[in-house]
């Protein structure tokens, strides 16, 4: 394994697609302030990560944003309010992105150049709009045919200088990898899957993955990095509750094991901005 990119979608638990945001917000429970334990883990493992922040929570979490920058991590934008891009016009997307970037930059005083679309809903015309706004990299591409939310981002005209990396001029797109098993593609690199699978199974899948890829991208969310109880609505269905809660308790420990395994396999952890620097792009 050559490189590993650890990415975090900085959002609140109530940004989960299947929850009633207003009702969940009203409970007053927040998970973002718990991130310090995770930041310490990254320091202990010598890992620099890339964070994508939902702009509407940037101001109330300015101390965490400042702290992660101070520790050498990179900070990008994960949209204004975590709504899907597929429901917006290009003009609306552009307007919202200008506002979102300004909000995050105001919270830290540092420029924002990277983007990840909520629920990986990036589309080609919006990617072009993003470039026109001066963003230099995006990480929203995922190949996951079975999931109705995810669609494949068209990158016609882009070169592929390296596994999971697509380049057009000085703009870079980073793919979130999946593991191909028969006709299925499993997104083993994060979210619910990493929480659901026990470590021994993840390790087995990573061994298979190494036969298909040289690089790896991990993606996690703050609610997966804390043990804080989530006041989920009582009428939530079993499957949704399961998706929210499975594997949270031991997840930080498991993540540490995965990091150590990847390092042992030769992977170097760096931020997406560091990767661009190495390509002579920053
Ligand atoms: Zn998200």
pLDDT tens by residue, 182-240:
888 888 888 788 899 999 999 999 999 999 999 999 999 999 999 999 999 888 888 88
Tokens of 125: 């015309």
**Average pLDDT for 245-265:** 94
CB 68 within 8 A of CB 36: no
Q: Kindly give the distance from the C-alpha atom of residue 254 to the centroid of ligand 1, in angstroms, as a whole number.
A: 21
**CA neighbor of 54 nearest in space, from 109, 112, 6:** 112
Ligand 1 mean position, distance from CA 120 (Å): 8
Considering only 231-235, 251-255, 257-261, 267-271, which range has the smallest mean pLDDT?
231-235
Confidence band, pLDDT 50/70/90 cuts, at residue 129:
very high
Q: Give the pLDDT mean for 60-74.
A: 98
CA of 100 to the centre of ligand 1 (A): 14
Query: How long, in residues, is the chain?
Result: 282
pLDDT attached to residue 148: 54
pLDDT score of 146: 59
What is the dotted CATH code of the domain comprising 3-278?
A: 3.20.20.370
Residue pair 271/73 in contact by the 8 Å Cβ criterion:
yes
Cα–ligand 1 centroid distance for 202 (angstroms): 22
Q: Which of 193, 211, 212 is nearest to 258 (CA)?
A: 193
Q: What separation, in Å, do the N-terminal and C-terminal C-alpha atoms of the chain show?
A: 24
Per-residue model confidence (pLDDT) at position 149? 53
pLDDT recorded at residue 136: 98
Distance of alpha carbon 28 from alpha carbon 18, whole angstroms: 18
Contacts of 69 (CB under 8 A, 6+ apart): 75, 108, 110
């Amino acid at each position: 394994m050559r490189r590993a990119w650890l990415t975090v979608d900085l959002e609140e638990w109530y940004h989960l697609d299947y929850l009633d945001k207003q009702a969940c917000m009203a409970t007053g429970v927040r998970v973002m302030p718990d991130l310090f334990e995770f930041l310490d883990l990254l320091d202990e493992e010598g890992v620099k990560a890339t964070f994508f922040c939902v702009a509407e929570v940037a101001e109330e979490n300015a101390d965490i944003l400042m702290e992660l920058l101070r520790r050498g991590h990179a900070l990008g934008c994960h949209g204004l309010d975590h709504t899907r891009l597929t429901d917006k016009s290009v003009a609306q997307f552009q307007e919202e992105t200008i506002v979102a970037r300004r909000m995050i930059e105001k919270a830290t005083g540092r420029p924002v150049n990277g983007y990840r679309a909520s629920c990986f809903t990036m589309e080609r015309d919006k990617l072009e709009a993003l470039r026109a706004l001066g963003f230099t990299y995006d990480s929203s591409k995922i190949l996951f045919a079975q999931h109705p939310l995810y669609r494949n981002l068209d990158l016609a005209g882009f070169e592929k200088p390296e596994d999971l990396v697509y380049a057009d001029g000085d703009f870079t797109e980073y793919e979130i990898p999946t593991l191909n098993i028969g006709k299925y593609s499993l997104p083993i690199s994060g979210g619910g899957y990493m929480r659901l699978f026990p470590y021994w199974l993840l390790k087995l899948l990573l061994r298979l993955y190494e036969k298909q890829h040289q690089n790896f991208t991990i993606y996690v969310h703050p609610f997966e990095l804390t043990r804080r109880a989530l006041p989920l609505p009582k009428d939530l269905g079993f499957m949704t509750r399961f998706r929210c809660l499975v594997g949270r308790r031991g997840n930080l420990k498991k993540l540490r094991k995965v990091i150590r395994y990847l390092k042992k396999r030769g992977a170097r952890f760096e931020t997406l901005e560091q990767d661009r620097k190495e390509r002579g792009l920053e």
